[in-house]
Amino acid sequence: MGGGGAQPYFDRRNSKMEWQWNEFQQIGTDYASEAEVAVYDQRMRQVRDIDGENRHIVDLLQLPENAAVLEIGTGTGAFARTVSAQCRQVIAVDISPVMLQYASNIARQEDICNIVFTQAGFLNFNGEENAFDGIVTGLALHHLPDLWKAVALRNICSWLKPGGRLVLQDVVFDWKTDTAENYFTRIVASFDSSSSHLARHIAQEYSTLPWIMTGLLERAGLIIESDQESHEFLHCYCCRKP
């Protein structure tokens, strides 16, 4: 199974593939220390039911015994720790060495030994075909423009075993019959404690639209089993590889 070791930093300047997206460039908030990650973790738990979400994701995956699971963008490692009890092995990847160190330390404190933490992302993880029973990614795919989302989802489909599932949680904007201006003003105002973070996300990151996300998932070869929306912009897709 791929992902056993840390991946080298990808430097476009020294690469012959000048067209390749640099997945290690900073998109969104950078965390320079584990103390900052701990603050981030606490803030997220104030606005989201992280443990409840993770249990729901585990249910959606419908994992077999001795499952192998990949999480892309593990962050603080909360999901990896939750799912590890049902798995033979969890590969938890992230591009941030600070996040990985924080997540690894928490897993060690909880005596969890079947998680491999690896510095990688959607585009440079060295995954094998048909290797995983389940793949999960939460609030990470929006770091890629749509072109590279398509590449990432194709990779994910190849890494899944036939019948395996992807659970994708991400920000997907949909103003429906409203105007974009009214919609963005409303959703930012509804998140008092993190409105500045959401506003920065809208202005600077690469979240897409539902019809684009649906097309990206289906063109990657995945069957969408469910699409659950909350807060007018958070979507949870459960997809199966035929």
pTM for this model (two decimals): 0.87
Per the domain annotation, does 18 fall within a domain? no
Domain containing residue 175: CATH number:
3.40.50.150
Burial (CB < 10 A; 0-12, 13-18, 19+), residue 169, is buried
Interval 49-63: pLDDT, tens: 778 889 999 999 999
Q: How many distinct structural domains can be found in the chain?
A: 1
Taking the C-alpha atoms of residue 230 and residue 140, their distance in angstroms, rounded to an integer, is 17
Per the domain annotation, does 17 fall within a domain? no
Per the domain annotation, does 63 fall within a domain? yes
Interval 157-196: pLDDT, tens: 999 999 999 999 999 999 999 999 999 999 999 876 666 8
Per the domain annotation, does 187 fall within a domain? yes
Six token digits for residue 174: 């949909």
Amino acid at position 184, single letter: F
Per the domain annotation, does 1 fall within a domain? no
Going by C-alpha positions, the residue among 50, 57, 52, 58 that lies closest to residue 78 is 50
Domain housing 133: 26-240
Per the domain annotation, does 236 fall within a domain? yes
Per the domain annotation, does 39 fall within a domain? yes
The DSSP result for 80-112, as a single string, is HHHHHTTEEEEEEEES-HHHHHHHHHHHHHTT-
In 77-207, DSSP assigns E strands to: 87-94, 115-119, 132-138, 160-171
Per the domain annotation, does 134 fall within a domain? yes
